[in-house]
Amino acid sequence: MSIVRSLGSEFQKVLTTRMWWLLALVLVGYVAMMSGGFGAFLGWATQNPDAAASAGGDTALPPGVELAPLLYSFASSIGYVFPVLLGALAVTTEFRHRTLTTTFLAEPHRTTVLSGKFVSQLVVGAVFGVIGFATSVAAGAAALAAFDLDTGLDSSDTWALVGRGILAMALWGAIGVGLGALVPNQVAAIVIVIAFTQFFEPVLRLVSSLNDVTASVGRFLPGAASDALVGASFYSVASLGSTDSLEWWQGGLVLLGIAVVTTVIGGATTWRRDVS
């Protein structure tokens, strides 16, 4: 089966360069800092409401918000940029280093190659999900336990959230492949990923939440759909409005749709071109 060979080759490509563990390392550091740090701060603020208030902040969470899911979901709500980057790099690196020639000589059926990248990055994204959630649960639970707060580790809801979060990270890896196929220029692809995930989307989500009409559109933004799939997020607390997010499965379908549509369009355009 040529798709199996292609898949095996794509996994080897990921594992034989340093990018995957560099990104995994940054993911662990980033998520540990946010989940553990934020957990410790909220834990302290919950125990010392007067001191927290005098420090100049209204730190009280809206009623009904649980701390544990909020902290654990940092793995996907801020960590999703890493599988996207790795997925996009899996495609753009081949253009940048002109290795597409060798790749297409070994497997001249280009759809098979792209399918191999799509599926392998789903798996790599899921592995990043496992790494990210292991970090956020460990750091977050440690912080909560330090302040005698409920870690939620004995609740099946927590583990369902972790499972959905890993699924979200997998889908983000596939979205990266689609983006790379659409924008084969590596620098452009990286700039788009960073600018969109770190700036444009957060701003759009915040702005769209100000008004009910825009909010109903804003929940289809990829990051919002991802948070809906996972079921909790820092944004759902920070957003000013109160519009319901999508159902978790709707969020998953939005992510899957983005991954498939971008990959199919990229596969029918830039991926079909002459390799010179």
Partner 1 sequence: MGDGTTIEITGLTKRFGAVTAVEDLTFTVEPGRVTGFLGPNGAGKTTTLRTLLGLERPTAGTATFGGTVYRDLKRPLETVGAALDAAFHPGRTARNHLRVTATAAGIRSSRVGEVLEQVGMSEFANRRVGGFSLGMRQRLALATTLLGDPRVLVLDEPINGLDPEGIRWIRGFLQSLARDGRTVLVSSHLLSEVQQSVDEVVIISRGRLVRSGPLSSLELDSSPRTVVDSPDRARLAAALDQAGLEYTEGRGGFIVAEPDPGMVGHAAFVGGVELSSLHRLKSGLEDSFLALVGEGEGAA
- Enumerate binding residues for partner 1 (CB under 8 A): 2, 5-6, 8-9, 12-13, 16-19, 93, 97-99, 101-109, 113, 274-276
Which distant-in-sequence residues (6+ apart) come within 8 Å of 121 by Cβ?
Answer: 10, 83, 86, 87, 90, 173, 174, 176, 177
At its nearest, how many Å lie between partner 1 and the CB of residue 103? 7
Count, in order, helices (H) and strands (E) of the chain. 15, 0
Give the end-to-end CA distance of the chain in Å, rounded to a whole number: 28
CB of 12 to partner 1, least distance (A): 5
How many angstroms separate the Cα of 123 from the Cα of each of 98, 118, 271?
25, 9, 22
Nearest distance from C-beta of residue 108 to partner 1, angstroms: 4
Q: What angle do CA 33, 254, 224 make, to 5 degrees?
A: 40
Select 108 or 241, whichever has its Cβ closest to partner 1.
108
Give the C-alpha separation, 22 to 5, whole Å: 26
Smallest gap from residue 96 Cβ to partner 1 (A): 9
Please state, in angstroms and rounded to a whole number, the distance separating the CA atoms of residues 47 and 129: 31
Q: Supply the minimum distance, in Å, between the C-beta of residue 84 and partner 1.
A: 20
Core vs surface per residue 117-154: b (16+ CB within 10 A) or e: bbbbbbbbbbbbbebbbebbbbbbbebbeebebebbee
Measured from the CB atom, is 73 or 92 closer to partner 1? 92
Toward partner 1, which CB reaches closer, 237 or 273? Answer: 273
Instruction: Decide whether 97 or 244 has the Cβ nearer to partner 1.
Output: 97
20 vs 147: CA distance, rounded Å: 35
Nearer to partner 1, 9 or 155 (CB): 9
- Decide whether 7 or 34 has the Cβ nearer to partner 1: 7
User: Smallest distance, Å, CB 29 to partner 1?
Assistant: 21
Contact 201, 223 (CB under 8 A): yes
Q: Which two tokens stand for residue 83?
A: 């599988």
Q: At closest approach, how far in Å is the CB of 177 from partner 1?
A: 17
Nearer to partner 1, 94 or 227 (CB): 94
The Cα 245–Cα 235 span in angstroms is 11
